[in-house]
Chains A and B, each alone.
Chain A
Amino acid sequence: MHYKRYWATWAVLLLLTVLMIFIGNGPLPKLLLLGVLLVAMMVKAVLIGAQFMHLSSEHRGIVFMVAAGLLLVGLALFAGIAPDGVRAFELRQ
């Protein structure tokens, strides 16, 4: 039964969530912690998109459409705002 892959994805998502909570309360330096959590967050997002939303088996045109429209534009938005945010943070210190 191919429902198994959904529940395997569910198990991995839960495991990642527990790990993130565990790491979030751990002694890691702030920047490293941020990096680890962001990577884990993106892995979870890709898992949901690929498995639950079936992007892994969709026509690659749809995958590119989502990757370019959401992922790239979303990342560009953060990349554009981040330098100003960091400058504002430094000014407040």
Chain B
Amino acid sequence: MQQTTTENMPRPTWDGGASPFGATWRKLMIWWFIITDGLLFAGFLAAYGFLRLAAGGWPDRSLMFHLDFIALMTFTLITSSATMATAVGAAKQGNRKLALRFLLLTMVGAFAFLGMQAYEWHTLIGQGATLSHNPWGPAAFGACFFLITGFHGTHVLTGALILTITAIRTAKGITQAEGVEMAGLYWHFVDLVWVFIFTLFYLV
């Protein structure tokens, strides 16, 4: 009977041995999640594009949004992504204290963004905007705006909870560098989606 040794086994085509693409299963799973979740947002944004074109006209953004305020929201999210990346870098270098400090800063950004979004929603609802009606014209605006920013806001809320749990577990020494990296990938994805929402809703 022929014995199989490591030498004569076929080389894996993905260069990762037992681990596809040289990544751990956790990293692969979070990337698959990001791809599928990203496609969900792509579907929402494509539907928004169609509805906006089909409406024949769209409310003037300067009537509905305060761009300075939205810019502040964007600044908060981009900054929280940079603090998160620093937290991941620190965790990978084994600097738990620095990782925790930057995780806490990221949490501040996450909750600040949520607060600002709640304020923006409150202002728009106060002016009469709902899912089916708004004072500025095409009804589809309200549906698209609340659905897409609401779905993104839910992701921010989930991210804030994940960050809180990761920070507590990092402080206790339970979460290792990879756990911080997974939380980071999710958080950067939330920032990434905002780049699209910010451009397509508030600037175009």
Contacts and interface: CB of A to CB of B under 8 A. Distances in A.
A, B from the same assembly: yes
Interface of A: 2-3, 6-7, 9-10, 13-14, 17-18, 20-21, 24-25, 33-34, 37-38, 40-41, 44-45, 48-49, 51-53, 58-59, 61-62, 65-66, 69-70, 73-74, 77-78, 81-82, 84-86, 88-89, 92-93
Contacts of B21: 58-59, 61-62, 65
Interface residues of B, number: 52
Per CB-CB distance, the 10 closest pairs between chain A and chain B, nearest first, are A92-B56, A61-B21, A10-B82, A85-B53, A88-B54, A74-B42, A6-B85, A69-B35, A89-B53, A41-B199
Interface of B: 14-16, 20-23, 27-28, 31, 34-35, 38-39, 42-43, 46-47, 49-50, 52-57, 67, 71, 74-75, 78-79, 81-82, 84-86, 89-90, 184-185, 188-189, 191-192, 195-196, 198-200, 203-204
Contacts of A48: 81, 188, 191-192, 195
A82 B16 contact: no
A25 to B, nearest CB: 8
Instruction: Name the residue among B43, B50, B52, B189 with the largest chain A CB count within 10 angstroms.
Output: B50
